[in-house]
């Protein structure tokens, strides 16, 4: 039997007990509406929402009726009626002798899950023959069915007024005319089965009476469970051959219980006052606010004392008197009560009693009244809120700011006590408790260096000594939930050979590049009209990306991984420390002796992890996808730097080419390369296409695309002299090939899936695991670390407790401050469609020129390798790089050959840097061309114009030192005869002789 499912929401208003009380509330609502209208007349720029209308709309969102349509006969579900079955209230579930539910005449509670299962086809809802006969013969008479057609059968979606849970009822029409009641002018609906023998509901005018045909479509409903809890009884069918039972004896004490309830209600009124006092309290608050709102003229007259007071007493006296009196009375009463309790304790310890001091009360009162006055009259420059805003911008006075919050009781304790509490919390924090312990959880470790810089001393640092810094190893865990349990037995490892194909172009990348080309070709839509080739230009790089994403198969279809920041390690500057940090995961993950540790890192730490495999063979290092993609950008810039890439980037609007060349900002650099990929054809289009496949594979979480693109890109790393990355890629691809089970897991969780709301688009976005660590982990830790960060113990305690500390203030940050951690990034290029197509048009012109390099596009950064030998070197980059990375694979991974690092840092092309162009420009500016000599030289283009360098600009060779000759020494010896003073004529004579040497 299926259980009823409930959905908890905001409680509905309960039934009012007295008729007079209803009238009072109605009159009170009218009074509130009048007051609201007056306020709206005075403040036309403020818009309020009608609370009664809002309440009504909220109720209507989950209470509605659904008609059972008359469709063709379909298979019926088991009986959906809720009844007393086998000793408890539950769904009947009988699956034999079924009829359509709409054949019933009375009101029955039905199973909500069953209705959801039919997916709107309500005609499939079934009822067993037993309940049909009971409804037809005992609860109602057969002739009653003639009054309502069975096509009026509806499903009522309601919520129980007692338990506030969602329920569903079946009825023919609005409800049953025999078993619906009016209780205190409210229409009440309970299942008919609860009124067959139970007399919980009886005529008792004028409080309770039958509704008959006066049934409100929005009647209040009570479920079977709470009907019994409230004193009613669902009929218990005894079964065939047994006599029925009644609940008459169970209601013998109803009168006594009613009197007891009424007595308790009267006592409650006598002790706490009735609800009329609550209304008066609310009205008092409204009257108080209205009086404050109407005190504008008085406040304006006291503006000088409120905006620039000389003393706190003057500031206090500047507020309206009724405001000070009210809050002074409240605060003083609280102080008096606290002092009474305190003096009782002091008396026990034989200490003198304390007295209430006026000054602390006045400080608290002025703080509260300043806030209210600033809310009511924001045009006034109230002194205290203004000073607080100014004080919050003075880092050196933050201690005074926190002390002020303590004095005004905004913060619960002093800053010193908070430091003690924070230290205790940090020491007791155990981040491993956040880890999920399950058989289907795959634990991915990720480590990276995190550095902190010490704040300079503001006093006494007369020499501006360089700040100290500290480093730590940030340890994080990504826990991915797999659809199957993880095997604990030893994993299968495939032995690799020299013939194992790991590098070079593959079928997957060829298909992707062809698909890219087809998408661009379709967008161009070439047409030949009157001998002229016409194409479309109404798209840009973003358009192409959106189309490509629809054609790629996304990965990471499971839930987002659980992210935990673990206890950090020390400075990762040695292989021993990296090994120690890795072994810390054994205790965190509760690893077996034969379990592998999958750990992700950037290239620098990856190299150290490879060395650690000698001491711990079960380490499986993973090369960070984001760092690899970032270095791929540098590879493309190196290979095409002498072939016009810098000129094209400058045309797109890149202002700082040196930053672009160094790939400082990954997102900006990738954006430039992406635009160039759209604009440029042939070899750059192909190699940059591999980079784009890798990047898109990372963004959609498709590990197959990431692996295949990295295999195709590996030769380019070797040709660009990326020796360390070449070795790292060879190791990483061999690890993937040797562990097929690992590849299966990466296909399911190949990147970090960014959590999104359920209502958002189904297409998710993924970050590389190392990118998630850099973007979220490092930034998160640095935002939540404070105090002395040079102290190693304190730093490690703060990092491991950063998640716990952040959770304590998440409500404040998200609810009060509306901080939803939205990340924005500025781009340093013109990414508009106009810049892209201007570059495309220039390139079309260049291709049609006999001397392409004479175009204005290449004048500032002229390509230096656009000749036969240069192009030949560029074409040979890929095959030569393939041979080079294979040699690295044989030497470093398989170790079948002796290690020979010679030539690994040799670039396959001639590289031109931005500083080379800048140096050339500076050298040309230092040269002065002689006009008389340039005219005849121009006739012969093979000769160079005669230039002369100014005397003042000549520089001696760096490191050259003049040595005094013997002749110069003899001339200088003539000055030795002068002891104390050198005459001017002697100096001039020596200068003249030295110039002749």
Is residue 149 situated within a structural domain?
Answer: yes
pLDDT of residue 936: 43
On the question of pLDDT at 118 being above 80, the answer is: yes
Same domain, 716 and 749: yes
Alpha carbon distance 730, 715 (integer Å): 10
Task: Check if the beta carbon of residue 82 is closer than 8 Å to that of residue 191.
Answer: yes
Same domain, 651 and 688: yes
Q: Which of 412, 446, 463 is the last residue of a domain?
A: 412
pLDDT in tens, 852-870: 888 888 888 999 999 999 9
Q: Which of 89-93, 278-282, 394-398, 952-956 has the lowest mean pLDDT?
A: 952-956
| Higher per-residue confidence, 583 vs 226 | 583
703: pLDDT strictly greater than 80: yes
Cα separation of 239 and 195, whole Å?
Answer: 19
Same domain, 251 and 394: no
Q: What is the DSSP string of 111-136?
A: -HHHHHHTTT-GGG-EEEHHHHHHII
Out of 412, 428, 459, a domain closes at 412
pLDDT grade for 774, boundaries at 50, 70 and 90: confident
Between the CA atoms of 887, 891, 894 and 896, what dihedral angle is there, to the nearest 10 degrees? 100
| Whether the predicted pLDDT of 713 surpasses 70 | yes
**Site of tokens 């051959």:** 241
Question: What sign does the dihedral 767-772-774-779 (CA atoms) show?
Answer: positive
In this prediction, residue 43 carries a pLDDT of 39
What HEC string does 574-591 produce?
A: CHHHHHHHHHHHHHHHCC
Angle 832-838-842 from CA coordinates, rounded to 5°: 150
Q: How confident is the model at residue 784 (pLDDT cuts 50, 70, 90)?
A: low
The reported pLDDT for the residue numbered 282 is 78
Q: Which residues pair with 84 in a beta bridge?
A: 89
Contact at 8 Å (CB) between 452 and 484?
no
Q: How far apart are CA 313 and CA 318, in angstroms?
A: 9
289 and 249 in one domain? no
Query: What is the per-residue pLDDT across 143-164, written as a single tens digit (0 to 9) for each?
Result: 776 677 777 888 888 888 878 8
Locate 636 and state its tokens: 């493309």
Q: Residue 815: is its pLDDT beyond 60?
A: no
What tens digit of pLDDT does each residue of 957-977 get? 444 567 788 778 878 877 777
Out of 337-351, 693-707, 912-926, 943-957, which region has the weakest mean confidence (pLDDT)? 943-957
The residue-averaged pLDDT of 329-340 equals: 89
732 and 875 both lie in a single domain? yes
Same domain, 713 and 843: yes
CA 368 to chain centre: 36
Q: What pLDDT score was predicted for residue 461? A: 52
For residue 210, the cross-strand partners are 181
Question: Of 736, 739, 733, which Cα lies nearest the Cα of 713?
Answer: 733
Which one has a higher pLDDT value, 54 or 772?
A: 772
What length does the chain have? 997
- Of 490, 716, 473, 509, residue with least CA distance to 584: 473
Confidence of residue 826 (pLDDT cuts 50, 70, 90): very low
Average pLDDT of the residues in 927-946? 44
Report the percent of the chain where pLDDT is more than 70: 78
Neighbour order of strands in the sheet with 597-601 = 562-565, 469-481, 441-453, 597-601, 619-623
Pair of tokens at residue 84: 């007393």
Q: Parallel, antiparallel, or unpaired for β 64-67 and 153-159?
A: antiparallel
pLDDT at 187: 82
Distance CA 738, CA 720 (A): 27
| H helix intervals, 65-211 | 112-117, 129-134
What is the CB neighbour count within 10 angstroms for residue 27? 10
Residues 161-208: pLDDT tens digits? 878 888 898 888 888 878 888 877 788 888 888 888 787 777 777 678
In a domain, 672, yes or no: yes
Q: How far apart are CA 277 and CA 460, in angstroms?
A: 65
What ranges in 570-644 are assigned the alpha helix state H?
Answer: 575-589, 603-612, 625-639
- Say if residue 205 is in the same domain as residue 309: no
Kindly indicate the confidence band of residue 12, based on its pLDDT and cuts at 50, 70 and 90.
Answer: very low
Put simply, whether the predicted model's pTM sits higher than 0.75 gets the answer: no
Provide the pLDDT confidence category of residue 276 given band limits of 50, 70 and 90.
Answer: low
Cα distance between residue 249 and residue 456, in whole Å: 85
Number of domains in the chain: 4
What percent of the chain has pLDDT above 90? 24
Q: How many of the other CB atoms lie within 10 Å of CB of 763?
A: 10
Helix ranges, 349-380 (H) = 358-376
Nearest to 691 by CA among 656, 724, 648, 720: 720
Alpha carbons 112 and 158: distance in angstroms, whole number: 11
* Pairing between β-strand 186-189 and β-strand 220-221 as defined by DSSP bridges: parallel
Instruction: Indicate the residue among 357, 391, 412 that finishes a domain.
Output: 412
The predicted structure's pLDDT at residue 464 = 54
| Position 370 in a domain | yes
Cα–Cα distance for residue pair 219/20, rounded to 1 Å: 21
Distance CA 114, CA 110 (A): 8
Question: 652 in a domain, yes or no?
Answer: yes
Q: Based on the fold, state whether residues 197 and 306 are members of the same structural domain.
A: no
- The H helix count followed by the E strand count for the chain is 38, 23
For residues 732-747, one letter each, b for 16 or more C-beta atoms within 10 angstroms of the residue's C-beta and e for the rest, the string is bbbbbbbbeebbebbe
Sign of the CA dihedral with 664 first, then 782, 443, and 808 last: negative
Give me the sign of the Cα torsion angle 782, 785, 786, 787: negative
Q: What's the burial of 266, exposed, middle or buried (CB within 10 Å: 0-12/13-18/19+)?
A: exposed
**Counting beta carbons within 10 angstroms of the beta carbon of residue 658, is it exposed (0 to 12), middle (13 to 18) or buried (19 or more)?**
exposed
Q: How many beta carbons lie within 10 A of that of residue 443, not counting itself?
A: 23
Is residue 309 assigned to a domain?
Answer: yes
Residue range 671-678: mean pLDDT, rounded? 90
Please tell me the distance from the alpha carbon of residue 567 to that of residue 581, in angstroms, as a whole number: 10
Query: What sign for the dihedral angle of Cα 485, 487, 491, 494?
Result: negative
Identify whether 925 is part of a domain: yes
Domain extent, residue 671, equals: 548-555+625-767+832-946
pLDDT digits (tens, 9 = 90+) for 525-574: 988 888 888 988 888 888 898 999 999 999 888 888 998 888 888 888 89
Closest C-alpha to 73, from 93, 102, 96: 102
* Pairing mode, strands 619-623 and 597-601: parallel
Mean pLDDT value of segment 456-469: 55
Q: Is the pLDDT of residue 2 over 50?
A: no
Within a domain: residue 752?
Answer: yes
Q: Looking at residue 945, what is its pLDDT?
A: 44
**Residue 106 vs residues 136, 186, 616: alpha-carbon distances, Å:** 9, 20, 74
Q: What is the mean predicted confidence (pLDDT) over 259-269?
A: 58
pLDDT at 946: 40
Q: How far apart are the first and last CA of the chain?
A: 118
Tokens of 707: 């692996």
Contact call for residues 334 and 323 (beta carbons, < 8 A): no
795 and 452 in contact (C-beta within 8 Å)? yes
Is residue 635 within 8 A of residue 722, CB to CB? The reply is yes
- Pair 286, 255 in one domain: no
Quote the tokens at residue 741: 């089970």
Please, how many CA atoms are within 13 Å of residue 52, restricted to the half-sphere of its CB?
Answer: 8
Average pLDDT, integer, range 493-506: 92
Rg over alpha carbons for the chain, rounded to the nearest Å, is 42
- Interaxial angle between packed helices 625-639 and 723-738, expressed in degrees from 0 to 180 and rounded to the nearest 10: 140
Mean pLDDT confidence for 338-364: 88
Task: Give the mean pLDDT of 835-849.
Answer: 86
- Dihedral, 773, 776, 781, 782 alpha carbons, nearest 10: 110
982 in the same domain as 919: no
Whether 733 shows a pLDDT value over 90: the answer reads yes
Tokens of 234: 């669902």
Give yes or no for a contact between 878 and 715, defined as CB atoms under 8 angstroms apart: yes
Q: Per residue in 900-912, is it b (16+ CB within 10 Å) or e — as a string? A: eeeebeeebbebb
In this structure, the answer to whether residues 301 and 359 fall within a common structural domain is yes
pLDDT at residue 680 above 70?
yes
pLDDT at 31 over 50: no
Q: What is the pLDDT of residue 829?
A: 39
Kindly state whether residue 16 falls inside one of the protein's structural domains: no
Phi, psi dihedral angles at 752 (to 5 degrees): -90, 115
- Write down the mean pLDDT value for the chain: 79
| pLDDT above 80: residue 606 | yes
Q: Give the per-residue pLDDT at 456.
A: 53
Give whole-number Cα distances, 759 to 349, 515, 756, 762, 820, in Å. 63, 31, 8, 8, 17
Same domain, 648 and 752: yes
- Residue 28 burial by CB count (10 A; 0-12/13-18/19+): exposed, middle or buried? middle
């Amino acid at each position: 039997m299926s259980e009823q499912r409930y959905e908890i929401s905001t409680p509905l208003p309960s039934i009012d007990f007295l008729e007079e009380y209803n009238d009072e509330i109605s009159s009170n609502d009218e009074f509130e509406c009048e007051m609201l209208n007056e306020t709206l007349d005075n403040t036309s720029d403020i818009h309020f929402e009608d609370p009664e209308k809002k309440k009504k709309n909220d109720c209507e969102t989950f209470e509605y009726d659904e008609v059972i349509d008359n469709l063709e006969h379909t298979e019926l579900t088991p009986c959906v009626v809720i009844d007393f079955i086998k000793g408890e209230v539950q769904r009947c579930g009988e699956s034999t002798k079924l009829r359509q539910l709409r054949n019933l005449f009375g009101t029955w509670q039905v199973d909500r899950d069953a209705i959801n299962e039919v997916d709107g086809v309500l005609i499939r809802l079934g009822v067993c023959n037993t309940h049909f006969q009971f409804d037809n013969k005992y609860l109602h008479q057969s002739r009653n069915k003639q009054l309502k057609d069975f096509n009026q059968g509806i499903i009522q979606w309601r919520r129980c007024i007692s338990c506030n849970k969602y329920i569903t009822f079946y009825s023919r029409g609005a409800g049953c005319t025999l078993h619906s009641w009016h209780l205190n002018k409210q229409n009440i609906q309970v299942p008919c089965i609860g009124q067959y023998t139970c007399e919980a509901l009886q005529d008792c005018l004028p409080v309770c009476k039958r509704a008959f045909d006066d049934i409100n479509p929005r009647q209040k409903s009570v479920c079977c469970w709470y009907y019994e809890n409230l004193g009613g009884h669902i009929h218990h069918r005894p079964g065939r051959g047994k006599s029925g039972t009644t609940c008459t004896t169970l209601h013998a004490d109803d009168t006594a219980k009613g009197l007891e309830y009424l007595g308790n209600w009267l006592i409650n009124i006598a002790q706490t006052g009735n609800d009329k006092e609550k209304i008066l309290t609310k009205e008092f608050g409204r009257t108080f606010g209205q009086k404050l709102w109407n005190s504008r003229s008085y406040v304006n007259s006291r503006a000088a004392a409120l905006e620039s007071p000389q003393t706190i007493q003057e500031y206090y006296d500047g507020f309206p008197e009724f405001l000070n009196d009210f809050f002074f009375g409240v605060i003083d009463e609280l102080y008096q009560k606290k002092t009474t309790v305190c003096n009782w304790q002091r008396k026990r310890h034989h200490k003198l009693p304390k007295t209430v001091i006026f000054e602390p009360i006045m400080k608290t009162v002025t703080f509260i009244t300043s806030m209210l006055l600033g809310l009511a009259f924001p045009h006034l420059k109230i002194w205290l809120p203004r000073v607080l805003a100014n004080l919050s911008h003075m880092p050196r006075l933050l201690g005074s700011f926190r002390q002020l919050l303590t004095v005004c009781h905004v913060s619960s304790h002093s800053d010193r006590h908070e430091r003690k509490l924070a230290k205790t919390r940090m020491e007791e924090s155990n981040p491993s408790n956040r880890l999920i312990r399950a058989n289907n959880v795959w634990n991915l470790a990720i480590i990276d260096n995190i550095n902190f810089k010490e704040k300079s001393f503001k006093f006494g640092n007369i020499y501006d000594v360089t700040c100290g810094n500290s480093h730590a190893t940030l340890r994080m865990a990504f826990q991915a939930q797999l659809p199957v349990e993880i095997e604990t037995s030893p994993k299968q490892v495939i032995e690799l050979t020299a013939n194992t194909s790991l590098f070079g172009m593959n079928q997957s990348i060829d298909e992707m590049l062809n698909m890219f080309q087809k998408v661009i070709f379709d967008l161009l839509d070439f047409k030949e009209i009157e001998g002229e080739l016409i194409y479309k230009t109404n798209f840009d790089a973003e358009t192409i990306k959106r189309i490509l994403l629809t054609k790629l198969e996304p990965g990471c279809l499971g839930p987002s991984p659980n992210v935990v920041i673990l206890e950090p390690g020390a400075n990762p500057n040695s292989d021993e420390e990296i090994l120690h940090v890795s072994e810390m995961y054994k205790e965190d993950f509760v690893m077996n002796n034969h379990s592998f540790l999958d750990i992700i890192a950037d290239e620098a730490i990856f190299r150290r992890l490879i060395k650690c495999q000698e001491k711990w063979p079960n380490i499986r290092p993973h090369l960070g996808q984001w760092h690899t993609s970032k270095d791929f950008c540098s590879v493309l810039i190196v290979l095409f730097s002498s072939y016009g890439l810098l000129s094209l980037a400058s045309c797109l609007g890149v202002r700082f080419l040196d930053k672009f060349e160094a790939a400082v900002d990954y997102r900006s650099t990738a954006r430039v390369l992406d635009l160039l990929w759209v604009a440029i054809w042939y070899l750059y289009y192909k190699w940059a296409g591999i980079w784009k496949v890798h990047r898109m594979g990372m963004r959609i979480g498709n590990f197959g695309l990431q692996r295949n693109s990295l295999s195709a890109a590996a030769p380019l790393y070797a040709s660009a002299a990326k020796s360390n990355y070449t070795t790292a890629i060879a190791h990483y691809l061999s690890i993937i090939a040797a562990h097929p089970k690992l590849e299966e897991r990466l296909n399911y969780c190949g990147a970090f899936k960014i959590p999104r709301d359920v209502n958002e688009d189904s297409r998710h976005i993924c970050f590389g695991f190392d990118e998630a660590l850099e973007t979220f982990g490092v930034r998160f830790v640095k935002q939540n670390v404070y105090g002395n960060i040079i102290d190693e113990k304190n730093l490690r305690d703060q990092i491991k407790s950063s998640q716990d500390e952040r959770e304590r203030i998440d409500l404040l940050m998200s609810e009060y401050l509306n901080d939803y951690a939205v990340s924005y990034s500025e781009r340093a290029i013109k990414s508009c469609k106009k810049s892209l197509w201007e570059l495309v048009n220039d390139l079309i012109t260049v291709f049609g020129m006999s001397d392409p390099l004479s175009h204005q596009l290449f004048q500032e950064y002229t390509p230096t390798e656009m000749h036969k030998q240069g192009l030949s070197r560029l074409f040979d980059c890929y095959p030569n790089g393939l041979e080079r990375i294979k040699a690295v694979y044989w030497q470093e991974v398989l170790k079948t050959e002796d290690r020979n690092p010679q030539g690994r840092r040799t670039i396959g092309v001639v590289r031109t840097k931005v500083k080379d162009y800048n140096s050339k420009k500076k050298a040309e500016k230092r040269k002065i061309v002689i006009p008389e000599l340039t005219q005849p030289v121009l006739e012969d283009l093979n000769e160079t114009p005669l230039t002369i360098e100014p005397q003042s600009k000549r520089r001696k060779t760096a490191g050259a030192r003049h040595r005094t000759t013997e002749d110069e020494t003899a001339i200088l010896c003539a000055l030795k005869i002068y002891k104390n003073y050198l005459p001017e004529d002697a100096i001039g004579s020596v200068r003249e002789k030295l110039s002749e040497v």
